Copies of this chain bind each other. A is one copy, B any other.
Amino acid sequence: MTATTEKIVQSLQEVLTNEQVTINETVRELHGKDESYHTMKLPDIVVFPSCTEDVSKIMRVSKELNVAVIPFGLGSSLEGSVIPDNGGITIDFSNMNAILDIRAEDFLVTVQPGVTRTQLNKELKKHGLFFSVDPGADATLGGMAATNASGTTSVKYGVMRDQVRDLEVVTADGTVIHTGNKAAKSASGLHLNGLFVGSEGTLGCFTELTLRVYGIPEFTTAARASFPTVKDAVEAVVSILQAGVPIARVELVDESSMRQVNIFSETNYQEQPTLFLEFHGNEAGLQQDVEFTKEIVADHHCEHIEFETDNAERNRLWEARHNLAYAYIHGNPGKKLMVTDVCLPISELAEAVNHAREVVESLDMPGGIVGHVGDGNFHVLLMIDMNDPAELAKADELNEKIVHYALERGGTCTGEHGVGIGKQKYQQQEHGPALLVMQKIKQALDPDHLLNPNKIFHVESEVIEL
């Protein structure tokens, strides 16, 4: 332990209990990585606040001793958002995992940031409610808000930002603010809710979230539809959306990924480009939507469509889809998963997926394509041998090609995983002079650059000056 670290630990122990502050190497290692391929880097100290006041105290120590703070949920980031850039204090929110309030009549819940989405959904079910955002991983809600997570259901219910009504945030100087309120809409003041969601810990630490929830739909039907080509599948999605079918989920899984699904989930699905679909609604409306969808997919050469109205079968289907990343990891021991994450206007999607397939096929590495195609968001999953510089270079090249393709067509380098470390190099191209506006905001709210430093963008003071 360096003298500085010792001093920081002392200061933290003065304001917290000794048990809440650790420099244990194993604990630090758990907080030096996430689910990404980015290099592990350890924090100097890990703290476990149990309330907002604790976080406020930690922030004041951070400011006083000029030490970085990095908020940490469960480490399920795919872009290194929680990996410390250069040591500092990682704030682990696992002890702040209480569901504070369920206002069923208002379709609102208030939770601490360490609550996970399955924990919340288990509780909400008792009230006939559910939380819609489903990124696959059982992430914490604080982490999901920090990265503006989304996933399979956002085509109908929106992304994480759309669910956030209010955040309690501790800012750089320890002040506790609320970014919103409990009303369904507001035109009062500047929209801090939207700004803090997706800020990846660079503007403050979330200590409470008030989130919108939904009534469990009266009826749900799921389906799998397989197509001769990825292009047919994507074009079917475009047609479904244009027809105004209010689809709740529509996921693309390509041929090689279907193979991984079958191996890992012991299913026997067709190994063809496949759409996983879900419909929510009342019985009569849903039936009409389903019939219409059948016609549309048939027009796009769908070779097989199967409906799962049974709850268990439907869960099995979505579990198979969600386990896909693990299926790749499991099927390629010793390799690391890299996931691309572009999102494009839907009219550009079919060609973009085709382009990505061509790039993947040229690499001769295990990989496949899946996507939240209703949003124009797709992922290439690529397994990399981290010890093989040639593979690393190829993975980098793949990401580069796919991102540039998307940016040239009005898309974004990240639809839902966030910028973290991996997408920083595309920020200038994507945002142009707007990046300077973002940096000015960062500078105004974190003048000492102590909040998750060098995530999203590097703030260099000379850039700030006009």
Residues of A within 8 A of B (CB): 103-108, 147-150, 154-155, 158-159, 161-162, 171, 173, 175-179, 181-195, 197-199, 203, 214-215, 217-218, 238, 241-244, 246, 281-289, 292, 341, 343-347, 374-377, 406, 410-419, 423, 426-427, 430-438, 440-445, 456-457, 466
Contact = CB atoms under 8 A, between A and B. Distances in A.
A226 B288 CA distance: 32
B198 A190 contact: yes
A437 B184 contact: no
Contacts of A246: 281
Contact of A456 (B106, B155, B189): B189
Contacts of A434: 177-179, 189, 192
Given A148-B185, A173-B466, 9 more contacts: A147-B187, A186-B343, A187-B198, A187-B418, A188-B418, A189-B438, A190-B195, A282-B292, A441-B441
Given A284-B284, A413-B188, A444-B443, A183 B150 contact: no
A184 B285 contact: no
B187 A419 contact: yes
Given A282-B285, A285-B282, A288-B282, A435 B183 contact: no
A390 B294 CA distance: 67
A195 B195 contact: yes
B430 A440 contact: no
Contacts of A456: 189-190
A211 to B, nearest CB: 13
Q: Across the A-B interface, give the 4 residue pairs with the lowest CB-CB distance, nearest first.
A: A285-B285, A194-B194, A182-B410, A444-B444
A440 B443 CA distance: 10
A71 to B, nearest CB: 16
A194 B244 contact: no
Given A106-B345, A345-B106, A183 B443 contact: no
A190 B148 contact: no
A410 B179 contact: no
Contact of A182 (B283, B411, B431): B411
B285 A191 contact: no
A438 B190 contact: yes
Contact of A186 (B177, B282, B414, B437): B414
Nearest to A434: B177
A281 B243 CA distance: 11
Contacts of A106: 345-347
A154 to B, nearest CB: 6
Contacts of A179: 434
A242 B415 CA distance: 31
A271 B240 CA distance: 44
A215 B240 CA distance: 12
A181 B288 contact: no
Contact of A416 (B187, B287, B289): B187
Contacts of A431: 177-178, 188-189
A418 B436 CA distance: 27
8 contacts: A176-B433, A183-B377, A192-B434, A192-B437, A281-B285, A284-B287, A285-B288, A441-B441
A195 to B, nearest CB: 5
Given A187-B198, A413-B188, A171 B283 contact: no
B154 A423 contact: no
B190 A442 contact: yes
Given A182-B411, A441-B444, A238 B190 contact: no
Nearest to A285: B285
Contacts of A287: 284
A432 B177 CA distance: 7
A411 B181 contact: yes
Contacts of A159: 185
A417 B189 contact: no
Contacts of A215: 242-244
B457 A189 contact: yes
A463 to B, nearest CB: 13
Contacts of A418: 187-188
Contacts of A413: 188
Given A344-B183, A444-B440, A105 B177 contact: no
A237 to B, nearest CB: 12
B444 A410 contact: no
Nearest to A438: B190
Contacts of A282: 285, 288-289, 292
